[in-house]
Amino acid sequence: MKKLLLGLTAALFLVACGGAKEEAKTDSKAAEKPAKVEKLVVGATPVPHQELLELVKDDLKAEGVDLEIVTFNDYIQPNKLLGTKELDANFFQHIPYMEEFGKSNNLDLVSVGSVHVEPMAVYSKKIKNINDLKNGDTILIPNDPTNGGRALILLDKAGVIKLKDNKKLDSTIADIAENPKNIKFTALAPEQLAPRLEEVTAAVINANFALDAKLSFKDDTILVEDKDSP
């Protein structure tokens, strides 16, 4: 059976459909008390995904869905536990990452609905503008194929580097064709980037981990993805 990637819109859709049914019922008490409660175990990263799920938890319960949220601090376990059926769904990833992870790990993952995607950004505690990068500075990027590619494409668009193909989402450090400032790149697990930020000039960090680390989107970013990110 295909595993599910829970979209928040899908959760809200359950609420909306339930509301429509409730209006149609003549017995309001029966509508308020579903005959059967279905348990749904969903994996999520803490910020903002767990927080968003908490917002709809009571509404889902009123519609007969007992939502149990399991929190993870990485991008790997939520998908692996779908494969072992310890989770019914998860809520943390974009479709390119889901597809690549499924292909690499022989998992049949599907999305049940589109959701928000937090923009990836370059964060720094040492410089205020991407153009302030100096020769030989170090930038951290995510080590997974799609988010690492997103990071490099973002830097390509800003003129920091030039990729062989700046449309290729699975680009890696090996695909850098030009690096005029001899920037040193280190790829780490996404959850390790924010804690290591002060050790380097900059890091390209997924927004959920940046939020969890209390980084300021206003004060600490020096470059942000366009709205057409994956």
pLDDT of residue 128: 97
CATH topology of domain 121-224: D-Maltodextrin-Binding Protein; domain 2 (3.40.190)
pLDDT digits (tens, 9 = 90+) for 145-185: 899 999 999 999 999 999 999 999 999 999 999 999 999 99
For residue 89, give the DSSP letter. Answer: E
Distance CA 30, CA 24 (A): 11
Do 103 and 75 contact (CB within 8 A), yes or no?
no
Distance, CA of 65 to CA of 164 (rounded, Å): 48
Q: Report pLDDT for 6.
A: 46
CATH of domain 3-111: 3.40.190.10
pLDDT at 227 over 80: no
Kindly tell me if the per-residue pLDDT of 18 is higher than 90: no
Domain spans in the chain, listed from the N-terminal domain onward: 3-111, 121-224
What pLDDT band is residue 230 in, cutting at 50, 70 and 90? low
Does the pLDDT at position 50 exceed 60? yes
